[in-house]
A and B are shown apart, each in its own frame.
Chain A
Amino acid sequence: MTTFLWVIVVLIGISLLGFLYRLVKGPTTPDRVIALDAIGVGIISLIGLISILFDTGYFLDVILLLAILSFIGTVAFSKFTEKGVIIQRDRNS
């Protein structure tokens, strides 16, 4: 079971490297933001696996925190690339 979990951790690390490649290379800003979102997802699953490996439940709050931060970051970046502002006063535009 422990060996299996370490293999999974290595596989998710490899896919994190793939996301990092798209984050560095990505030609446009939306590519980079999508890669950041995917990196957040990968880190969340890594934290789940590591909390099994270390046999503790204290990391599980971090999952919720990272999910919320990743979503807020994606929404802020998309509002910024769409309109140039994050918090808009004029609701009719």
Chain B
Amino acid sequence: MTVIANILIIATISFGTIFILVTAIGLIRLPDAYSRAHAASKSATLGVMSILLGVFFHFWLNEGSFNSRILLGIVFLFVTGPVGGHMMGRAAYISGVKMWDKSVRDDLAEVVKKKRELEK
């Protein structure tokens, strides 16, 4: 039983660590703020959720204490991580951060332009 629990813990924690390393690579290598936000908000959330799931399995299966605070933390991170990334991307666009010069589409430009003209 302990061996199966340890295999489960090692699998989930390794999965999460791979995703956090991918986040670091994405934050260093990607060209502009929007693609960096895309890297950080999604894969970091998945990575930390997986690592916390491993911690939860450790405390449940090896220590025998069903710790509901970790589950609450997982749910909270799952809800708030993409919301924070989205708000930051919208704030970056409205405050005028330039996109990468090889980007091919900008669907939000005409909407923001129309809104600005309405406000004048």
Q: Mark A37-67, 1 if CB is under 8 A from B, else 0.
A: 1100110110011011000010011011001
Interface range, B side: 35 or more
B residues near A (Cβ < 8 Å) are 6, 10, 13-14, 16-17, 20-21, 23-25, 27-28, 33, 36-37, 40-41, 44-45, 47-48, 51-52, 54-55, 58-59, 63, 65, 67, 69-70, 72-73, 76-77, 80-81, 83-85, 87-92, 94-95, 97
What number of A-B contacts does a CB cutoff of 8 Å give? Answer: 151
Nearest chain A CB to B15 CB, angstrom units = 11
Q: At the interface, is chain B mostly helix, strand, loop or mixed?
A: helix
Tell me what chain A mostly uses at the interface: helix, strand, loop, or mixed: helix
Chain A to chain B contacts (Cβ below 8 Å), 26 pairs = A1-B6, A1-B10, A8-B13, A8-B17, A14-B21, A30-B89, A30-B91, A30-B97, A33-B88, A34-B41, A35-B40, A38-B44, A45-B48, A48-B52, A48-B54, A52-B58, A57-B65, A63-B52, A63-B73, A67-B80, A71-B83, A74-B84, A74-B87, A75-B87, A78-B88, A82-B90
